Amino acid sequence: MEIKEEGKFKKLFKRYGVLSLACVFSLALALGIALGIPKTEPVTTSNIEFGLPMTNAVVVKDYADDRLQLNESLNRWEIHLAVDMSSENDAVFSIYDGVVDSVDSNSLDGYIVTINHSDGFVSVYSSLSDNVQVKEGDSVRKGQQIGNASDTATNESKDGAHLHFVLMKDGVEVDPNNYLDLQNK
């Protein structure tokens, strides 16, 4: 009985097996093509490849526009539309080619360099030490050192020497993590 059944199956397979296999393959192929066609839009629509503002840096306070984070220096909870980072090597670099829009200083933010880039991007570097290496109107290159991270920003003094980095697009703060690979460095 069993042998008979097996024989039947073999016959069936001989007749339809190849056809079924062909069907399965074409189905898989069609599915693959169908899944491959709709491409999701990337997070960034810019072709700019930004560099990093610091090397071997650790993110000490991340960007978040949907939750409050404790500012220990001011002892209050606040929205932090920037990424704070520190590194043993405290050199700070321009993330891309651009023109220095301003070099300012105030007791809350320390020394601040603002750089205009193309595509509506502006990068802002605060809590720099007083040895800022660029001045207003200077053209800078991607990776060019502009200053050093410090603890000059009294509104974040408890975080120690660090860079408070802001990235703006068309006048609005954006999450730098969507444009720069800041984590795991």
109 touches Zn ion (CB under 5 A): no
Helix (H, G, I), strand (E, B) or coil at 147: strand
- Kindly tell me which of 84 and 167 has the beta carbon lying closer to Zn ion: 84
Stretch that binds Zn ion, among 34-42, 75-83, 95-103, 175-183 (CB under 5 A): 75-83
Q: Tokens 């503002």 sit at which residue?
A: 53
Q: Coil, strand, or helix at residue 16?
A: helix
Comparing CB distances to Zn ion, the nearer of 83 and 118 is 83
Interface positions, 126-165, toward Zn ion (CB under 5 A): 164
The window from 22-30, 45-53, 74-82, 177-185 that contacts Zn ion (CB under 5 A) reads: 74-82
The C-alpha atoms of residue 151 and residue 171 are separated, in whole angstroms, by 26
Check if the beta carbon of residue 128 is closer than 8 Å to that of residue 109: no
Contact 172, 125 (CB under 8 A): no
Place of tokens 């703060």: 173
Pairing label, strands 145-148, 91-93: antiparallel
CB of 121 to Zn ion, least distance (A): 19
Minimum CB separation of residue 132 from Zn ion in Å reads: 18
CB of 72 to Zn ion, least distance (A): 11
* Cβ nearer to Zn ion, comparing 84 with 115: 84
Q: Does 100 bind Zn ion (CB under 5 A)?
A: no
